[in-house]
Structure 1
Amino acid sequence: MMGEPQIKNLEEIIGKLLLSNEIIKKTEIVNLLEPGENYLSEMTKIQVSVKNTVTQAEREIYAIGKCVAKPPPNGSDFLKDFSPFLFTKEMMFYKEVVPAIQTFLKNRGASPVDYFPEFYGGRLNLSGGSKADEDAVLLLENLHTSGYQNMQRHEGFDFDAAKTILKDLAHFHAVPVAMKLLEPELFQETIKKICDIKPPPPAKKPEGKPDGPPALAKEVLVAILEEDEKCVPAIPSFLEILEEQRSISFEEMLNMKQREPFATMAHMDMWLNNTMQKLDHKNRPIKNKFVDFQVLSYASPAIDLLFLLITSVQTSVLETHFDYLLEYYHDNFTKVLRELGCDLAPFSYENFLEEVKAVIPVSIVHGSSFSLIIVFGKKGVAADPTQADKMGKDDLDPKAREKFRFIVHEAYKRGWMPQS
């Protein structure tokens, strides 16, 4: 049973939203999500009743409060070390990067982006310092009150929902690329600045231990692939990229050189729970919002694209429409570049597929692990990825295992993995 959430001195932030002669009558705060639905932060739903002391008119302010995550009781220091850093980065995104993007688009005669929630304000702590602590809070528009909702993570996106999200994702990636090409100084001062902020290194582990969080045992992953005989030929290739990816140190990962010209501001956590959709009367998605900008990095757009497909799109949709979805994303990506006045020659579909192939190793290893552990983790239970090495095959959801087999087989079949 979760206790009632508390946010100290909330009125100081809410007060900036009040109009002349308005006062706060009442504030209600409740938990927004069950444990396990957002493992990098804690979310609260805030309703503030406001009254005008002159006209006596009353209104409600609906917001989402985002706070630094508290690590599971028996977990490692992974969340404790990283959550404050991630929170600080997201605050910068809303305060500095979003306004820069909107200004850039306005100056180019383009429409503003509308796939971010409105930023109401926030703080890193109560002392005015530069590091986020347990009193940090970020206030955003409550998208639920505007008709947006999260899809069920165990179900995944259908074809129509996937298209809606990919169109916005292509725009999200293309605008920073256009800014890089057309207004490089603005790009460096905003997009590149936030992407270049690196987290502190993890605590030193005992000699011989990896410096990252524990991972699923390779024997477990092999056992999943062996459940379908058509995946068996891909196992040596998969083990090769698994060993390669797990041998990359934290420092090497942070300083990895990115491929140009596609490199952009990547979300790096682009999965179902970090998007919200508004549906029409037939339950078809008509609008989309992206949330959770905690781990933004300068990276290939294909990382976000593949992570979304691997973790969040129904396997049956990928089996039927995988090529179409890749082409659909690329068409929308180049459309934005064209409208903003960029040269499209370097961004051909053939070059784009090379981007996809280049990030397949990291996408398969990390995307599939995330899908197996987090996306298809048990509902109502706080996920702790640091306990992954204790999990067996039967601890993992059958749908997640099916998705993992499909991705490995598909990548191997297309020659995107080492061929034996």
Structure 2
Amino acid sequence: MSEEVKPLSEIRYFTEFLEENLKRKVLDYTLKPLTKSGHNFGAILQSVEVTVSAEYDPDKHEIYHFVAKTPLTNRSTLLQPKWCLMKEIRFYSIVIPAIEEFERLANVPEAKRLDAFIPCIASRISLNIVAENEDSDAVLLLQNMKFQNYFTRDKHIGFDTQETFVILKNLAKMHALCIAMRRLRPELFDKKVNPYLELINSTSNDDYQFQVQYAPANCYEYLVCSFSIFANLSKIICKELPLIDDISPEMRTTIVNSIRLSKEFYACSARTIDTPYTTVVNKDFWINNIMIKQDDNSKPTKVKFYDFQLCGYESFVLDLIFFLFTSVQNEDLKTNFKTFIEHYFLEFFKTIDFAGCSMEEYTFEKMWAEIRKKAKFTLFRLFVRAKITKDDQTAYLANDIADNMTPYEKPASKTILDQWKFIIEIFVENEFF
């Protein structure tokens, strides 16, 4: 292995792993970190450049570019081994192929099929071939899409209208295909999808032992938005609500109640009951987990979704609303909110129809009713995410942890308060409370 840049984590028996799955002799490989330590709480991301002998001429060589995802080395203070990376490995190795199989069985035209997942090259959960749970030798190897001209947007800027349309088109396809599979091919869904959407019960001390002061400095962003270690944070946010301009006491009471419902919703360990609108959801579908590709005229044409460590089973509303308010530029969202929602609906309807599923439950009126029923459950996470991404004062500093402080204990800045107000105004306009 080349030593130009020290990797975040060595990968044991990586050459053998590569050769077994690429079916080529590995001449060299280089690992380089893609994230700083602690930026992704469930895994370490590293780029991989692999030099292999050419298939038909061993004197020549070829170069492949991948991304390797491996467990955190200090994960014992964060997660139990049975979750996170293993869940994502199952998503890539079992759930995605099941979605593709359903498209073939349903005779969905190839031009209309979903193409939003990063190709998975190989995976393992352990060096022990009979292991049932992930250990420190787990690896998920994905195609490095940057070498196919995909890129990410700055989370502080957000997606524009045209980019949002392309993303929503693919998100609607993913949600609709999984609903159609559950309804038309329940045996396929129950065998290859349903078992891998287990809830992460973040209130269980048996599954998660977490102490804030021991967490890596930069993992707050993901942890607080993804797990129900919310009690103190929700109190802080509720105390700051009176600082928002032009919000009546009655509306503050409504928002506090919605935050409580949202917090309880994410802390609930009971599996969601099937409805016409429950589907496979990413649960952390926002700008940091989406790549886009443009054509020669800088028009967005394709997208790739990634990071399915928290994937689960819920209403489509959770992914849709969370994405719009965390990832789209405010001016675009304010101008086109209903247009974005209905663009999602139209692609959803097309996919349901192509799959041969009954359209009875899927009308504009019924889908809007589902959004108005469920959007409030995203409110707390939207407020938390805004407090992270909308103000530089929430930068993650190591000395904050040493002093037993979290970034969320700092007073909300005007930028954050304005973003909360923006969210509230659109919720009110669309009767989400």
Is the pair's TM-score, using the shorter chain for normalization, greater than 0.5? Answer: yes
Q: Structure 1 residue aligned with 2:367, among 319, 335, 352?
A: 352
The match for 1:124 is 125
Q: Structure 1 residue aligned with 2:50, among 48, 51, 67?
A: 48
Shift of 1:371: 3.4
The match for 1:69 is 72
1:374–1:34 CA distance, 2 compared to 1 (3 A): farther
Q: Structure 1 residue aligned with 2:18, among 14, 20, 23?
A: 14
| CA deviation string 1:246-276 (max 9, x = no partner) | 35583xx231533511111111110111111
* Alignment TM-score, normalising by the size of structure 1: 0.86
Q: Distance in 2 between matches of 1:411 and 1:335?
A: 27
Q: Secondary structure at the match of 2:357?
A: coil
Q: Which amino acid aligns with 1:115?
A: A
- 362-371 or 92-101, which moves further after superposition? 362-371
1:197–1:217 CA distance, 2 compared to 1 (3 A): closer
- 268-277 or 104-113, which moves further after superposition? 104-113
1:12–1:374 CA distance, 2 compared to 1 (3 A): farther
Decide whether the 8 Å contact of 2:6 with 2:32 is kept in 1.
no
The match for 1:163 is 165
The match for 2:61 is 58
Q: Structure 2 residue aligned with 1:245, among 257, 262, 277?
A: 262
Q: Structure 1 residue aligned with 2:40, among 34, 38, 41?
A: 38
- Once the two structures are superposed, the pairs formed by residues 44-193 of structure 1 within 5 Å of their partners are 44-52=46-54, 54-69=57-72, 77=77, 79-81=78-80, 84-110=82-108, 111=110, 112-128=113-129, 129-193=131-195
1:381–1:95 CA distance, 2 compared to 1 (3 A): farther
Q: Distance in 2 between matches of 1:186 and 1:166?
A: 26
1:166–1:222 CA distance, 2 compared to 1 (3 A): farther
| CA deviation string 1:102-127 (max 9, x = no partner) | 11111222224321111111111223
Q: Distance in 1 between matches of 2:287 and 2:155?
A: 6
Structure 1: give runs of 5+ residues left out of the alignment.
none
| CA deviation string 1:334-391 (max 9, x = no partner) | 110011111112111111112112222221112321332367676787999x965752
The match for 1:298 is 313
- 288-297 or 221-230, which moves further after superposition? 221-230
- Once the two structures are superposed, the pairs formed by residues 386-397 of structure 1 within 5 Å of their partners are 388=406, 390-394=408-412
- Once the two structures are superposed, the pairs formed by residues 266-277 of structure 1 within 5 Å of their partners are 266-277=281-292
Q: Distance in 2 between matches of 1:355 and 1:37?
A: 34
The match for 2:329 is 314
Q: Secondary structure at the match of 1:216?
A: helix
The match for 1:234 is 251
Decide whether the 8 Å contact of 2:42 with 2:72 is kept in 1.
yes
Decide whether the 8 Å contact of 1:274 with 1:292 is kept in 2.
yes
Decide whether the 8 Å contact of 1:234 with 1:409 is kept in 2.
no
1:357–1:194 CA distance, 2 compared to 1 (3 A): same
Q: Distance in 2 between matches of 1:33 and 1:107?
A: 39
- 143-152 or 280-289, which moves further after superposition? 280-289
Q: Which amino acid aligns with 1:229?
A: D
| CA deviation string 1:43-80 (max 9, x = no partner) | 100001112484412101111001123569xxx94x33
Q: Which amino acid aligns with 1:57?
A: K
Decide whether the 8 Å contact of 1:68 with 1:84 is kept in 2.
no
Q: Which amino acid aligns with 1:159?
A: T
Decide whether the 8 Å contact of 1:62 with 1:142 is kept in 2.
yes
1:262–1:84 CA distance, 2 compared to 1 (3 A): same
Q: Distance in 2 between matches of 1:350 and 1:259?
A: 20
1:94–1:200 CA distance, 2 compared to 1 (3 A): same
Decide whether the 8 Å contact of 1:34 with 1:380 is kept in 2.
no
Decide whether the 8 Å contact of 1:70 with 1:80 is kept in 2.
no
Matched, 1:326 2:341: yes
Q: Secondary structure at the match of 1:105?
A: helix
Q: Structure 1 residue aligned with 2:426, among 403, 407, 410?
A: 410
Q: Distance in 2 between matches of 1:116 and 1:47?
A: 21
Q: Distance in 2 between matches of 1:387 and 1:274?
A: 28
- Once the two structures are superposed, the pairs formed by residues 368-387 of structure 1 within 5 Å of their partners are 368-373=383-388
Decide whether the 8 Å contact of 1:47 with 1:61 is kept in 2.
yes
Q: Distance in 2 between matches of 1:116 and 1:376?
A: 31
Q: Distance in 2 between matches of 1:144 and 1:173?
A: 26
Structure 2: give runs of 5+ residues left out of the alignment.
210-226
